Structure 1
Amino acid sequence: MNATDVFVPWLDADAKPMIEFSGVTKNYGDFTAIDNIDLKIFPREFFALLGPSGCGKTTMMRMLGGFENVTKGTITIDGQDMKGVPANKRAVNMMFQSYALFPHLSVADNLAFGLKRSEMPKSEIKGRVDEMLRLVQLGKFASRKPHQLSGGQRQRVALARALAKAPKLLLLDEPLGALDKKLRQETQFELMDIQEKTGTTFVIVTHDQEEAMTMASRIAVMDHGKLVQVDTPDRIYEAPNSVYVADFIGDVNIIEGRIAKADGEAAELAWAEGHSPIRGMSGAGVSSGQGGAFAIRPEKIVIGTEEPTDVHNRISGEVEDIAYLGNISTYYVRLENGALVKSQTANTRRIARRGITWNDKVWLSWTDTAGIVLAG
């Protein structure tokens, strides 16, 4: 796929999904882990299931892999109903967080292990192993044992082993959880590159928002067994469909109030007596008179010591705290009504030259399209 191609099969009414959940429910006794889910995932997608612990994302993955049975509904993979199809008969492979490498086998033998038990002719196995080693750039480490590798290298061996049998679908369960932050960020791009080269459909389970936002073509945000929002990373970040999604993805300010006006793409939220309503984009299902909330990202709020006159949305407060993170600083500003609002700025100057400090009286301002008014 070259840079000019746009990969959006979910917008094509004729596109056939690789995976389809239709009315899928999973019960454990009286507990409903997955609640009547409909979902389509398309070939070559890098799809993320994102949510807190216990939201049902791992259960969905285990049903795809054939390790859990569906209570109600159907799951199809590449057009085939998976009911009654055991895990070892599915064109699916799974990569676990623990990697589960054989410690007594070399890297090459770990990759060959599953191939020797498959229908692949023995004469082709070495060539396939060499191909996988090249894919993950581990040719020089073929004779090493897992304990002689770094965490990132072990992760790539596990990935190569999972891809060796050329599955149509690869399931990744928190695959980067054991890596440190810097290596995790590097490996995210390696995974994306490998996924694009192989054309395999990847479904990743993660609770790490940054991981999902970086790698996925689309994200399903889950809560208590339901899909709360399924969309592209930019849409989930910029246009969350609920306070839950806005609060779960990234850093955000949530200001509660009553929706004073909802007119097409624009809305206003009455939030504090004596203050003008906040103007923002209109979220899904908002209507005048109902309770609501305004969600805005800290980086979209401008902080300054002078009252701005060129924007409608402006409020004053006092700097209560400052978090210095090297490339950015986050200012925690206490408003007159007691609410705490965060504003983030890039540190383009040395910290000694910062113009705003603790206990300063400041103004916060933002444009009419910087945030979104959501139903309460």
Structure 2
Amino acid sequence: MSDTDFEPWNDPNAEPLIHFQNVTKRFGDFTAIDDLTIDIYEKEFFALLGPSGCGKTTLMRMLAGFENPSEGNIFLAGQDIVPIPPNRRAVNMMFQSYALFPHLSIWDNIAFGLKRDKMSKDAVGERVEEMLRLTRLEQFARRKPHQISGGQRQRVALARSLAKAPKLLLLDEPLGALDKKLRIDTQFELMDIQESTGTTFVIVTHDQEEAMTVASRVAVMDHGRIVQASTPAEIYEAPNSVYVADFIGDVNIIEGYAEKSGDGFNLTWGESRPILKAETQNGFAGGNCALAIRPEKVSVTAEKPEDAANAIKGKVHDIAYLGNLSTYHVEIPGGQIIKAQTANTRRLSRRSFTWEDDVWLSWTATAGVLLAEL
């Protein structure tokens, strides 16, 4: 989000646009959503992220009205929407398949819902032209869906969904059918369109990068519950559990026992291994735990670094070269692999280290997050 002051979830006086109140959804003996309470605010781009079967699509279908909760209430702008049928809700849904009418032109696809609402001809024309401009599709207005690319079809579906000016737009894996480069371009287009319309977007995705790129907040789900709902930066830098740390991005997990020491903790993690030092701001109190450290926060050097809070000797087991980055998989005594990432700043630069090299891994006391084992 470009507006850095946009944080209604931190304002105790802000009224949520959507309020899930103790919502449970069962299918027979299976609980898809488990006593879930969450607020989503106006103008948010809110992402539901999680593995298949975690409940994110069920949550979205309940917002759309295709499923009703077994227990609890769902409020939209203060109104309980559970009794309201899908076609009467100020909610629109964009499906992964786009569901465009193949025999209609792009113009008529966008106009379809407006005509059904008996809008005047002039008003329909005005609104469709506005949507074509918004999605940069003016020159394709007379074409049929099969005559345009996948990325353009995605924009038509978006234009059609936004034409009726819903309070809330639901996007179900909207970029799943696009190739990687087009997907990234389209993510930024989605953000621009969401910002310029001010519509609240809720996106369902299992793609972490997508959620972290587009969303004002990300809700990480597991077994019908929201494990953590926060900004992408907070989720990445300050996960509240091993599950979230492990689900978002690449992470090293070191399990051990932490005891308070001065401003931080001493982490014991196996015989004849150096005690690790960690400072953490998440209210952790000590005991059995996991230290989560992102690979980019681990340095690799040939010599033991002076004054490093944490330093472990290991051997390079594998190297993944990703163009701008190299990830070193370093085996430490006891067999655990720790990943360390370095930026490749020079073109065709020779690697500093190669397979089987002895190296030192080091990181600061504040680089990792101590998490109570769940």
Residue of structure 1 in register with 2:277 after alignment: 279
Contact 2:256 2:269 in 1 (8 A): yes
Q: 1:366 aligns with which of 363, 368, 374?
A: 363
The 2-side partners of 1:49 and 1:322 are apart by 33
The 2-side partners of 1:46 and 1:40 are apart by 13
Change (3 A) 1:348 1:220: same
SS of corresponding position for 2:12: coil
Q: For 1:77-116, what aligned pairs fall within 5 Å after superposition?
A: 77-116=76-115
SS of corresponding position for 2:279: strand
Residue of structure 2 in register with 1:348 after alignment: 345
Q: For 1:162-201, what aligned pairs fall within 5 Å after superposition?
A: 162-201=161-200
> Is residue 339 from structure 1 mapped to residue 336 from structure 2 by the alignment?
yes
The 1-side partners of 2:328 and 2:44 are apart by 38
The 2-side partners of 1:74 and 1:277 are apart by 50
Of 132-141 and 5-14, more deviation after overlay is shown by 5-14
Q: For 1:1-376, what aligned pairs fall within 5 Å after superposition?
A: 6-261=5-260, 266-282=264-280, 284=282, 286-288=284-286, 290-376=287-373
The 1-side partners of 2:242 and 2:122 are apart by 57
Q: Which consecutive aligned stretches of 4+ in structure 1 deviate over 6 angstroms post-superposition?
A: none
SS of corresponding position for 1:186: helix
Change (3 A) 1:128 1:335: same
Percent identity of equivalent pairs? 65
Change (3 A) 1:236 1:124: same
How big is each residue's C-alpha offset from its partner over 1:104-130, in whole Å with a ceiling of 9 and x where there is no partner? 111001001111001422321011110
Q: Give the deviation of 1:279 after TM superposition.
A: 2.0
The 1-side partners of 2:232 and 2:259 are apart by 30
The 1-side partners of 2:261 and 2:92 are apart by 48
Contact 1:241 1:283 in 2 (8 A): no
**Unaligned runs of at least 5 residues, structure 1:** none
The letter of the residue matching 2:279 is M
SS of corresponding position for 1:353: coil
Q: Give the deviation of 1:337 after TM superposition.
A: 1.4
The 1-side partners of 2:265 and 2:136 are apart by 52
Q: CA RMSD in A?
A: 1.4
The 1-side partners of 2:157 and 2:55 are apart by 24
Change (3 A) 1:262 1:79: farther
The letter of the residue matching 2:130 is E
SS of corresponding position for 1:98: coil
Contact 1:284 1:375 in 2 (8 A): no
How big is each residue's C-alpha offset from its partner over 1:52-96, in whole Å with a ceiling of 9 and x where there is no partner? 000000000000000001111100001110121000000000000
The 1-side partners of 2:257 and 2:290 are apart by 7
Change (3 A) 1:2 1:346: closer
The 2-side partners of 1:262 and 1:207 are apart by 39
SS of corresponding position for 2:233: helix
Contact 1:262 1:286 in 2 (8 A): no
**Unaligned runs of at least 5 residues, structure 2:** none
How big is each residue's C-alpha offset from its partner over 1:241-266, in whole Å with a ceiling of 9 and x where there is no partner? 000000000000111111233777x3
The 1-side partners of 2:267 and 2:8 are apart by 36
The 2-side partners of 1:58 and 1:43 are apart by 21
Contact 1:283 1:375 in 2 (8 A): no
Q: Give the deviation of 1:351 after TM superposition.
A: 4.2
The 2-side partners of 1:171 and 1:363 are apart by 48
How big is each residue's C-alpha offset from its partner over 1:113-150, in whole Å with a ceiling of 9 and x where there is no partner? 11100142232101111000000000000001111111
Contact 1:267 1:373 in 2 (8 A): no
How big is each residue's C-alpha offset from its partner over 1:273-331, in whole Å with a ceiling of 9 and x where there is no partner? 2233222233656333x321110000110001010012121101000110111111110
The 2-side partners of 1:227 and 1:262 are apart by 33
The 2-side partners of 1:246 and 1:328 are apart by 21
Contact 1:66 1:87 in 2 (8 A): yes
Contact 2:251 2:294 in 1 (8 A): yes
SS of corresponding position for 1:116: helix
